[in-house]
């Protein structure tokens, strides 16, 4: 495993910790709050993040795209949300660290990708939904700048060959990019605009 892979695995830890920190701060009265993902409230967004970690673990273990799609809507809040998320992330982290995982081609439903690219997709999803959760609940919205920079520098590689992505028109799972950000917009805001958000 080289320096680049270690850096990418470090971004996984950063985004997982960032989401976990905000999840622990969600007030009991906020679980039904709407989020920037218009079809999800806070509870549903957290469920997506837990189930996503479990699904990625399954893919790295040889799971199929059909199993991925069948598991998307399963309810994963089967315990305290923060503990459930932490456990799901721990399993996902172990799967990405397993020998050969980053080179193994997985049956991602929107196109077969190597584990290394799947890890990049996880990082983007997690950092975007961290902001969604923060905006929905009124928590700290600033994202890790080095991770944001890595995503923007590698955006085309992350979504190369992926049929559902924010760089393709008509995607079912991503809103279209929002208005062109002002020239003085931060790198974080530019990324969020690209992901269909309105920072």
Task: Please give the full DSSP string across 97-165, using - where no structure is assigned.
Answer: HSTTTTTSEE--TTS-EEHHHHHHHHHHHHHHHHHHHHHHHT---PPPHHHHHHHHHTHHHHTTT-SS-
To the nearest 10 degrees (0 to 180), the angle between helices 145-153 and 115-137 is 130
User: Considering all CA atoms of the chain, what is the largest pairwise distance in Å, rounded to the nearest integer?
Assistant: 45
User: Which overall architecture, per CATH, does domain 3-194 show?
Assistant: Up-down Bundle (1.20)
pLDDT of the residue at 152: 94
Segments making up each domain of the chain, as ranges: 3-194
C-alpha distances out from residue 29 to 32, 33, 101, 133, Å: 8, 8, 40, 14
Q: State the pLDDT confidence band at 151, using cuts at 50, 70 and 90.
A: very high
Q: What is the pLDDT of residues 60-119, one digit of tens each?
A: 999 988 887 777 777 777 678 999 999 999 999 999 999 999 999 999 989 999 999 999
Question: Helix (H, G, I), strand (E, B), or coil: what is residue 45?
Answer: helix
Strand pairing of 113-114 and 105-106?
antiparallel
- Residue 172 reports pLDDT greater than 70: no
C-alpha distances out from residue 103 to 47, 96, 98, Å: 28, 10, 11
- pTM attached to this predicted model: 0.92
């Amino acid at each position: 495993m080289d320096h680049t892979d270690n850096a990418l695995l470090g971004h996984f830890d950063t985004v997982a910790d960032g989401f976990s920190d905000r999840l622990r701060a969600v007030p009991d009265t906020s679980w039904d709050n709407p989020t920037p993902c218009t079809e999800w409230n806070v509870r549903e967004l957290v469920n997506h993040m837990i189930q996503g970690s479990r699904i990625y673990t399954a893919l790295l273990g040889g799971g199929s795209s059909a199993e991925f799609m069948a598991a998307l809507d399963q309810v994963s809040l089967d315990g305290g949300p923060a503990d459930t998320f932490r456990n799901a992330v721990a399993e996902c982290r172990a799967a990405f660290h397993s020998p050969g995982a980053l080179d193994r081609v997985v049956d991602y439903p929107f196109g077969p990708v190597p584990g290394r690219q799947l890890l990049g997709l996880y990082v983007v999803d997690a950092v975007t939904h961290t902001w969604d959760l923060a905006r929905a609940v009124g928590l700290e919205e600033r994202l890790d700048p080095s991770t944001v920079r890595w995503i923007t520098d590698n955006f085309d590689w992350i979504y190369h060959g992926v049929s559902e992505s924010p760089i393709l028109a008509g995607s079912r799972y991503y809103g279209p990019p929002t208005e062109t950000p002002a020239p003085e917009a931060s790198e974080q805001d530019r990324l969020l605009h690209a992901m269909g958000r309105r920072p």
